[in-house]
Chains A and B, each alone.
Chain A
Amino acid sequence: GAVVSQHPSRVICKSGTSVKIECRSLDFQATTMFWYRQFPKKSLMLMATSNEGSKATYEQGVEKDKFLINHASLTLSTLTVTSAHPEDSSFYICSARGDRRNYGYTFGSGTRLTVV
């Protein structure tokens, strides 16, 4: 089945620094990748949608200059949290979608970001 690898699983960084999270589709080509943020005991909040080779589409209220998304290939998308602040601490999850005939979305295992 489709596998999405997300790395790192946990990261602690200092305020003001930047953190990069990677999302890779291991056995399929991900034409579209989605980045979510999840607060404790809450549902997944879509941050942005990225299509390979084009600029990401950000949801309302999500700062595109703070959350940089790059989808440079059909198997890799990255989310960079720039100038991180403690309020950016959260669980970030990517998901990838491949073949149009399969409407399924495969999720990564998530990244727990803690900004100190």
Chain B
Amino acid sequence: GENVEQHPSTLSVQEGDSAVIKCTYSDSASNYFPWYKQELGKGPQLIIDIRSNVGEKKDQRIAVTLNKTAKHFSLHITETQPEDSAVYFCAASIRGGYQKVTFGTGTKLQVIP
């Protein structure tokens, strides 16, 4: 089955700096890669996703890149703000049917004011 690894497990940045979280996946059939933000005591919220037919996607301060050959994908947050502090999970899934999502182990991001 799919295996998703995520690094780093914790990340502290100064407000205004950029944060980068990296993930790798094992199943070359995976073609959908969402990123979730989870605040304490709440369910994960989708913040951005990318499909395998594109290499990069951007939404304001958040961007995701995908390297299918290397099976790497990354989340980039620019101009970080204290409210970006949360746990971020990457995930991988296969298009079609009722495929399940495999999650990474999570990154706790702390933005220091």
Contacts and interface: CB of A to CB of B under 8 A. Distances in A.
Tell me, yes or no, whether A binds B: yes
Interface of A: 4, 6, 31-32, 34, 41-44, 46, 49, 51, 91, 93, 95, 97, 100, 103-110, 112
Nearest to A46: B100
B103 interface: yes
Nearest to B96: A100
Nearest to A92: B43
Contacts of A109: 42-43
Nearest to A104: B46
A24 to B, nearest CB: 13
Nearest to B45: A107
A110 B43 contact: yes
B98 A32 contact: yes
Given A93-B43, A103-B93, A110-B42, A31 B101 contact: no
Interface string B17-58: 000000000000000101010000111111001010000000
Contact of B41 (A4, A6, A110): A110
B95 interface: yes
Contacts of A49: 98, 100
10 contacts: A34-B100, A43-B89, A46-B101, A51-B98, A103-B32, A103-B34, A103-B95, A105-B46, A105-B93, A105-B101
Nearest to A109: B43
B34 A104 contact: yes
Contact of B44 (A32, A42, A93, A112): A93
Contacts of A44: 44, 89, 103
